Amino acid sequence: MKLKPAQSEVAPGHGGVAAHGARHVAIIMDGNGRWAKKRHMPRVFGHQRGVEAVRRTVRAAREMGLEALTLYAFSTENWRRPEDEIGALMSLLKRFIVDDLDEFAANNVRLKIIGDHSAFAPDVVELIDKALARTRDNDGTTLAIALNYGAQDEIARAAAKAAARGPVTVESIAAELDTADMPPLDLLIRTSGEVRLSNFLLWQAAYAEMCFLDVLWPDFTPDHLAQALADFAQRERRFGGR
């Protein structure tokens, strides 16, 4: 099916919900390794091209009026990957922050981390912390990057904090989640053709709409995002009702 741009944009910074109705979109960015393998290139080449897709998507999310975009960048399970691949991913993360931070600041994008990035090397932690501080007061689109993140760990941490404060309820756990200061998740997209959540935003996805695309992440374009939002706008969300 040919992708068509969604008629959903709102002027950046003007507030209000875009015509597509989504406020918060999350993406499992899957397929970098397979993209590189198809071209007989090392996996790091796929990750490099994946960063370019991230840039396109962040810009498109802002132009399409999203309040929040959450990207699954590095899971708690990704530590099992070869050391050289982890090192390459950290280098790409640092380069992304250095190269794009000025653009985030100029376009009122707030950078947020979900998960525990303190487990990374000190130079990576310092770079992330400075980027968070610089964009903290921005009130446009929030770009949340999941780093050293696992949803089961997030829920366990939130439940422990809730228990320390008093009765454990759905509301008290939700208030302690990493995404507590963000809009509820509306749409979760996964690329690469895989159909699973891979320990990503399990609590937040309880009533989110799902979109699974056959495209590998480096080939993901703003048109794919626009079509996913157009499809979302046609869905009837019941939240357990009729």
Choose the catalytic residue: 30, 100, 178, 186: 30
- The CATH code of domain 24-233 reads 3.40.1180.10
Query: What does the domain layout of the chain look like in residue ranges?
Result: 24-233
Q: Dump pLDDT digits (tens) for 56-73.
A: 999 999 999 999 999 999
Residue with tokens 């990207």: 71
Choose the catalytic residue: 78, 108, 138, 199: 78
The reply to whether 30 belongs to the active site is yes
Quick one: which H or E segment has residue 115? Answer: strand 110-115
In whole angstroms, how far apart are CA 203 and each of 21, 45, 180, 187?
21, 33, 11, 13
pTM: 0.91
The reply to whether 138 belongs to the active site is no
Are residues 191 and 29 in contact, defined by beta-carbon separation less than 8 angstroms? yes
Residue with tokens 């760990």: 153
Q: Dump pLDDT digits (tens) for 147-191.
A: 999 999 999 999 999 999 999 999 999 999 999 999 999 999 999
pLDDT at 237 (0 to 100): 82
- Does 1 score more than 50 pLDDT? no
Q: Dump pLDDT digits (tens) for 81-113.
A: 999 999 999 999 999 999 999 999 999 999 999
pLDDT at 18 (0 to 100): 84
Q: CA 212, CA 192: separation in Å to the nearest integer? A: 8
Give the percent of the chain with pLDDT over 70. Answer: 93
